[in-house]
Structure 1
């Protein structure tokens, strides 16, 4: 089994001789933020964090994300936060791309390496530290939790490598999903999964559904069909797809195409 690969932003600036043309696009139905625009001058410092910078990939604004925020976070050795989440009603998922990250949840320490995944429920007592000798980078997904009577999600931390992917029916394993929570567990109002395509595999129809997506490409390349447009994407790119945006893809090879996928699930539509 090949070791998974996880691309992380590298910052820096392109030379003055570089062309301005890139793949960034913002539409009412989808947005593509290519890895080439994640540069030093667009980073943000986060209150309550030290030795840390972030690229904010999505936040709720008109015409963009409505249910979540997503960041790429870079923590230098010795950096981190003892109070990372400023809002009590917000849940989080952390997914480690590079380096080692110590996540402490309710006093219990979890040492996460690349592929490490932590779910932090709303109101949880948690902290993050980089005790290693190299920079740690992770994806951070935040969502306002929608409580449901009788259900309370629990915090956990795991490694992707320890979870067996679930093949999509009828695909012979060429398209699979690594699920970190049970899809039928109504305690969870969001799923953050890893989707994997073998070279040449496809989503064979234009998915058109109520779920909003944040999609960070971990590995490989593909061409995505988004609301009638064909868009090339590669590792390090971020995509936002609004609810009901038609979507499909071809995995381009030569290696696997893999991405971290956010979606909102398991709740009634609020009308009043």
Structure 2
């Protein structure tokens, strides 16, 4: 008697939430493959977006086993932002060393050497954003910034609120990093269409997000890239508060190609 051919597990097609278009992406974390980089021995980097996709910045999940990280001070001419999600990391720049627990963040301006190392307590994970700095004549350069989400300024709008991490109303900065929060059932008040682009990581919860003309279900750990002028709106679903870390380029004029 012939052994039946195994069938794919139920839902193998219906549960595929990955999407990439010229204007946005939705990437569940399990589909993003590992990279290893010079200068980061022992670390795994999972790039979520980069200029290869069409984004004007790069974003990644950095996974650092205990005691691993940069192999010394690094200065590639870019500006860097780190947000720790798990474990603890020591961040050193401009002669200052700060231990970043979950919810801690650090910003190193372009041209400033930095180092980042997981403590010996266990594996650490951080969201990493980097991009070329866009300076403006007559505008002061931004400086080193470190902090924690619990100490960041907060703005409340009823069932929605946000934590301003860096860049809010700071003309020296060319991007912001915020944590957006929605109570279950809350939604953004309009369909946005703006010149800024976003990189978004779901920190917790479940949501439905309009991207262009289609709705996508988002879960904890998902990454979303949104290009300029993409119609977008979000509804918090599920039973817990939705939180996501959001990148947004700000404070700079449009550019014209020759």
Q: Give TM-score, length-normalised by structure 2.
A: 0.91
Q: Could you tell me how far apart the structure 2 residues matched to 1:109 and 1:188 are?
A: 22
Query: Structure 2: which 5+ runs fail to align?
Result: 1-7
Q: Could you tell me how far apart the structure 1 residues matched to 2:119 and 2:22 are?
A: 42
State the Cα deviation string for residues 234-257 of structure 1 (Å, max 9, x = none): 110000011000000110131110
**SS state of the match for residue 171, structure 2?**
coil
- In the alignment, what sits opposite 1:46? 37
Greater Rg by CA: 2
Correspondent of 1:72 among 37, 51, 61: 61
Correspondent of 2:112 among 121, 124, 127: 124
Correspondent of 2:70 among 70, 77, 81: 81
Correspondent of 2:226 among 229, 241, 252: 241
**SS state of the match for residue 90, structure 2?**
strand
**SS state of the match for residue 65, structure 2?**
strand
Q: Is the 8 A contact 1:100 1:111 kept in 2?
A: yes
Equivalence map 1:126-145=2 (5 Å): 126-145=114-133
Equivalence map 1:152-191=2 (5 Å): 152-167=141-156, 171-172=157-158, 174-191=159-176
- In the alignment, what sits opposite 2:81? 93
Q: Could you tell me how far apart the structure 2 residues matched to 1:77 and 1:181 are?
A: 27
Q: Could you tell me how far apart the structure 2 residues matched to 1:137 and 1:182 are?
A: 23
State the Cα deviation string for residues 148-207 of structure 1 (Å, max 9, x = none): 22311011110111224212xxx32x1112112353221100011111111111012110
- In the alignment, what sits opposite 1:3? none
Q: Is the 8 A contact 1:99 1:132 kept in 2?
A: no
Q: Is the 8 A contact 2:93 2:113 kept in 1?
A: yes
Root-mean-square deviation (CA, aligned residues, Å) is 1.7
Q: Is the 8 A contact 1:75 1:137 kept in 2?
A: yes
- In the alignment, what sits opposite 1:230? 215
**SS state of the match for residue 79, structure 1?**
coil
Q: Would the alpha carbon gap of residues 210 and 84 (structure 1) be closer, same or farther in structure 2, given more than 3 Å must change?
A: farther
Query: Structure 1: which 5+ runs fail to align?
Result: 1-15
- In the alignment, what sits opposite 2:4? none
Q: Give TM-score, length-normalised by structure 1.
A: 0.86
Q: Could you tell me how far apart the structure 2 residues matched to 1:247 and 1:197 are?
A: 15
Q: Would the alpha carbon gap of residues 104 and 86 (structure 1) be closer, same or farther in structure 2, given more than 3 Å must change?
A: closer
State the Cα deviation string for residues 211-241 of structure 1 (Å, max 9, x = none): 0111011010100011010100011000001
**SS state of the match for residue 36, structure 1?**
helix
- How far residue 37 of structure 1 moved from its aligned partner, in angstroms, is 1.6
Q: How many residues align?
A: 247
- In the alignment, what sits opposite 1:11? none
Q: Could you tell me how far apart the structure 1 residues matched to 2:248 and 2:73 are?
A: 22
Q: Is the 8 A contact 1:190 1:262 kept in 2?
A: yes
Q: Could you tell me how far apart the structure 2 residues matched to 1:133 and 1:237 are?
A: 26
Correspondent of 1:29 among 23, 27, 35: 23
